[in-house]
Structure 1
Amino acid sequence: MIKTGSHILINALIREGVEYVFGIPGGAVLPLFDALYESQIKFILTRHEQGAGHAADGFARATGKVGVCLATSGPGATNLTTAIATAYMDSVPMVALTGQVKTFLIGNDAFQEVDIIGITRPITKHSYLVKDVKDLARVVKEAFYLANSGRQGPVLIDLPVDVTMAECEEIIPPEIDLPGYKPTYEGNIRQIKIAAEVINNARRPVLYTGGGIIASDSAKELLELAEKGNIPVTTTLMGLGGFPENHNLSLGMLGMHGTAYANFAVTTCDILIAIGARFDDRITGKIDEFAPNAKIIHIDIDPSSISKNIKVDIPVVGYAQNTLRELNKHISFVERREWFDKIKQWKEQNPLTYNNSGDLIKPQYVIEQIYEATNGEAIITTEVGQNQMWAAQYYTYTKPRTFLSSGGLGTMGYGFPAAIGAQLGCPDKIVVDIAGDGSIQMNIQELSTVVRLNIPVKIVILNNGYLGMVRQWQELFYDKRYSSVSLNGNPDFVKLAESYGAKGFLIEKKEDVRPTLEKAFFTKQPVVMDFRVDPNENVFPMVPSGKPIHQMIGTMA
């Protein structure tokens, strides 16, 4: 049957199971919107393309499906770049569709023309400029396959307007065969057996796990490995929820703002088993003092990540779930009483704690109350900064896909639109964006989106009147020379929420924290909560930049 490129594209998206597309229309994508008008796909009109990209990202992280966003050419496309880079750094499966000027105008500086392929090449897993309508169906199929296979990531499809208007016979493409792209899903058996033998003989092993556990749905296999081998587990920021933090083998998060006992354990261990993690600088600290006495096993589907930052002794390239299933066949239980006695001592000497005396609301207390009020069953999204670290430290994550945050890029403004995508993907869950008063203003225009569609996300603003993490660094390392960090002039967030049509609450007393949270979570509409927290509270522990991770500020040892 003869169809336009736009209808071919929409049908291809439907075959991929796409439920939602997030974005904003514009001239170069009008044919697509005309096809969407009568489509079963729900289009979510955001108020900024960056918001659309983060919403698609949040949908993907919360559901495990590919998120989809759509923008017009020129500024519409460039506004997506921060969201694309965020997804790329955190290995999130996303397909970004961008409009483009007509093919014969490309390269002529036409109105709203930009080389979005060139701009995004370093921050996409792959990109396509479609010049022939006959290629559309195949390109969409390949894009979704690439985004959601191997090490996941964003793929961009650039769509000239004349291609989406052109007509051809719609042909469903055959199964994908990309000779140059063959991810390794099965780990090498010999390497796995070598790793198992080393683990079984270890006296002080530690499992160090990242977002790859969540992306590969390997939480069950990780739990089996930890329990079967009696091995303590620490996770990265992206790995939160991949191992239950209420488990006796959990060390919590490691790194710059990780627990002291996780950092001490990694520094002291004799075997470090890294799974689905990439040895980011916020994890390793000073590289030549990271796990100095350990043999390192690294399991990852991306061979380019292995020995990239830290030299690895036993590499295993493979999909985490498949590799762990095989590894678990060869693991034995070892008691390791001396090792766990030492970890218990570190936990007793350096608990994750804060001073909750006095009348001021402590941000950590707000996080703890969110956990209790939701019974730990919420999906938490965060912005970036102090709010992000407190959310990572003081909410106990026990399930995958319940903590969504910009880890690699550190994108302020991520959390709120990500919460929109997560809420649409998981309508039966309470979704809470934990924000700072600075970061929430980066994409606060999406209040219009949630109110118009009655998407009941809850925004918790930890309002300290500062760009808090920058203020903390200036306090600790720049002699308290507070340069451009005061947010004097903040809006009245309650009135702002109400002006959009959302509920707004101001909380200034500690005794009002829990009742307000419960009221908000019971409300079936968007809610903004402005918590006036201690403006001088800092995030501890903290590893100063360039220091080894065992040298922390805010610990006893």
Structure 2
Amino acid sequence: MGLNGGALLARVLAEVAPVVFTLHGGHLDSFFRACGTEGIELLDFRHEAAAVNAADGYARTTRGLGVAAVTSGPGFTNAYAGLANAYADGVPLLLVTSAPPLRETETNELQGGIDQIAAATPVTKWAHRITTPERIPDLVGLAVRHAVSGRPGPVLLELPIDVAFTPVDESRLKPAGAPAVGPAPAAAPEAVREAVDLLRSAERPAIVVGEQTLWSHVEEPLVRFAETTGIPVFATGPSWRTLPMRHPLNAQSVTSLAVLPLIGASGPDTVLLLGARMGMFTGGGPGVLVPADARLIQVDADPVEIGRMAPVDVAITGDCGRALDALLAAAEQGAWPDRSAWAEQAVGAHKVMEDLFADAPEDMDGRLHPFRAAWEALAALDPGAIVVTDGGESAAWAESALTATEPDLLFRLGYQGHLGVGQGWAIGAQRAEPERRVVQITGDGAIGFHIQELDTMVRHELPIVTIVFANDTWGMSIHGQDAVFGPGNDVITRLAPTPYEKVAEAFGAYGERVDKLADLGPAVRRALDTGRPALINVAVSNDVVHPVTTALLGDLTATDEIVIPYYQNLPRTGA
């Protein structure tokens, strides 16, 4: 087969994409057939949304670009959920989709009738339709640069089938810009000096590391900066790599800031937001987690984010990694005050959750306490695993017990709160790190979205271990309804007691059910030791509410406001 549009796309993508996550559609056959020749692996799925989630997970793990390809019409609309999730979380990925022939638009054609570019525009940084194959090299380069520059995000290229099958005269191809960007801009020296001066003069400084640091190798300089300054480090956002889990300055999740007043401690008076966006993951409104009177230093690649919800004392626009290097260099010049007492309080706040449930019963009416189950499951992992959490309270229980293990990377639901992404994330992460163990902890609600991707794991020999916390309900939903409307008034929040371990076995994976706490750790180890995809179905109780559910619901007792669960209450006006 000679060079055509699809083959040219494969040739160009081979520079940036060793693997493409996909599901077959005949429109893209010229591209698919050329991928093998160009050395691109095609990892095919059972649902397009999961394929895009996998490209997302691959990008987060490699700190690079993820690439997915789906057919037009239903393939594109199925993939849309993955695009929206990646856009909200700022993940660089390229989605290639197809389209009917350009000359057949408005003919009620197969898999057509949708302006996919218009539909994709609100959930991408850039979306474009390729109308001639000779433009493929420069348009791919443009797409990649859009995806990875500034605040990262997804992009889309539409390749109509007639363009994909059109022969290409190589002599007409012009040199194109590389599908990469140069070094990110460095932080302004005067801003760095101001930031270090503020931190040095603070009594209770804190660092909040956000999702944007995922795209820079900040782990080593972050440890050095924290140890040089004595400042505790909190983490926030959809996924993170931060200080080693048991490092004495690792204060864990930023939600621990809400615990400080409960233990009689003051909150931070100065906060360095390192790639952390103000919003849902910092408590929603000003003063919820980050004190309203705290001085703020904000580092972000997107200047629009700086000062989004509160005034900022020092603004640093640029790459988080380069900014941290500059901050570290400045911090190493001169002594820092002793902040050991404050750091001990800040780091100890997260232990309140552990202490709260440490003595919880193992068994509650024949089912495991979810915190005890999360702790035992995570404690069975070797250091360096990639932990993927999915679901509502199931994910929250896992995050509360994270210090039971020492993960390399944590995935958690992002700004969309999009259940069901875990299967794709886990596959993308495992493909990116084949030597590392990937373990997903999910709920029986979330697993139902893409349970068929167990087939994908089996076919592609991806030894992912999935642990399902099954309580036969949509846990966060039923607990929220109980709190708002009273117990017994729940609506469409109950699930069947499905034997998920048998579903896994039917797909060819290893499956096991656990009903006793003492059996959970050994079951996880058995699953890991099989070297195969595996699912452990854990019966957990629905009789305990995770504190995050209560916190998300807000003040339900207000009488002078209109209660709006999960958001800020509205003031009542008039009589």
Compute the TM-score of the two structures, normalised by the length of structure 1. Answer: 0.91
The residue identity in structure 2 corresponding to 1:482 is D
The residue identity in structure 2 corresponding to 1:485 is T
Is contact 1:183-1:301 (8 Å) kept?
Answer: no
Q: 1:272 to 1:547 in 2, by over 3 A?
A: farther
Is contact 2:280-2:415 (8 Å) kept?
Answer: no
Cα deviation, 1:106-127, whole Å, max 9, x if unaligned, reads 3554221121211111111111
Secondary structure of residue in 1 paired with 2:96: strand
The residue number in structure 1 matching 2:478 is 471
- The equivalences for 1:53-452 within 5 A come to 53-113=52-112, 114-170=114-170, 171=173, 173-176=175-178, 185-238=185-238, 240-255=240-255, 260-261=259-260, 268-287=267-286, 290-331=290-331, 332-337=335-340, 339-340=342-343, 342-343=345-346, 353-354=356-357, 355-359=359-363, 360-396=367-403, 402-452=409-459
In structure 2, what is the Cα distance between the partners aligned to 1:311 and 1:266? 24
- The equivalences for 1:457-468 within 5 A come to 457-468=464-475
In structure 2, what is the Cα distance between the partners aligned to 1:267 and 1:172? 62
Alignment size in residue pairs: 543
The residue identity in structure 1 corresponding to 2:324 is L
Q: 1:535 to 1:97 in 2, by over 3 A?
A: same
In structure 1, what is the Cα distance between the partners aligned to 2:2 and 2:121? 33
Secondary structure of residue in 1 paired with 2:168: strand
Cα deviation, 1:123-159, whole Å, max 9, x if unaligned, reads 1111121111111011112222222232111111111
Secondary structure of residue in 1 paired with 2:356: coil
The residue number in structure 2 matching 1:485 is 493
Q: Which has the higher contact order (CA 8 A, sep 6+)?
A: 1
- Give the gaps of 5 or more residues in structure 2: 557-575
In structure 1, what is the Cα distance between the partners aligned to 2:210 and 2:538? 31
Secondary structure of residue in 1 paired with 2:202: coil
In structure 2, what is the Cα distance between the partners aligned to 1:176 and 1:263? 53
The residue identity in structure 2 corresponding to 1:95 is L
Q: 1:341 to 1:154 in 2, by over 3 A?
A: closer
Q: 1:106 to 1:424 in 2, by over 3 A?
A: same
Q: 1:259 to 1:428 in 2, by over 3 A?
A: farther
Secondary structure of residue in 2 paired with 1:3: coil
In structure 2, what is the Cα distance between the partners aligned to 1:397 and 1:4? 53
- Give the gaps of 5 or more residues in structure 1: 549-557
Is contact 1:251-1:261 (8 Å) kept?
Answer: no
Is contact 1:32-1:164 (8 Å) kept?
Answer: yes
The residue identity in structure 2 corresponding to 1:268 is G
Compute the TM-score of the two structures, normalised by the length of structure 2. Answer: 0.88
Secondary structure of residue in 2 paired with 1:416: helix
Secondary structure of residue in 2 paired with 1:8: helix
Q: 1:400 to 1:186 in 2, by over 3 A?
A: farther
The residue identity in structure 2 corresponding to 1:277 is A
Is contact 1:62-1:401 (8 Å) kept?
Answer: no
Q: 1:152 to 1:296 in 2, by over 3 A?
A: same
Q: Identify which range, 470-479 or 293-302, moves more after superposition.
A: 470-479
Secondary structure of residue in 2 paired with 1:243: coil
Q: 1:297 to 1:471 in 2, by over 3 A?
A: same
Secondary structure of residue in 1 paired with 2:452: helix
Secondary structure of residue in 1 paired with 2:434: coil
Q: 1:182 to 1:473 in 2, by over 3 A?
A: farther
Is contact 2:246-2:406 (8 Å) kept?
Answer: no
In structure 1, what is the Cα distance between the partners aligned to 2:552 and 2:32? 50
- The equivalences for 1:497-512 within 5 A come to 497-512=504-519
The residue number in structure 1 matching 2:559 is none
Is contact 2:245-2:407 (8 Å) kept?
Answer: no
Q: 1:149 to 1:446 in 2, by over 3 A?
A: same
Question: Does 2:501 match 1:494?
Answer: yes
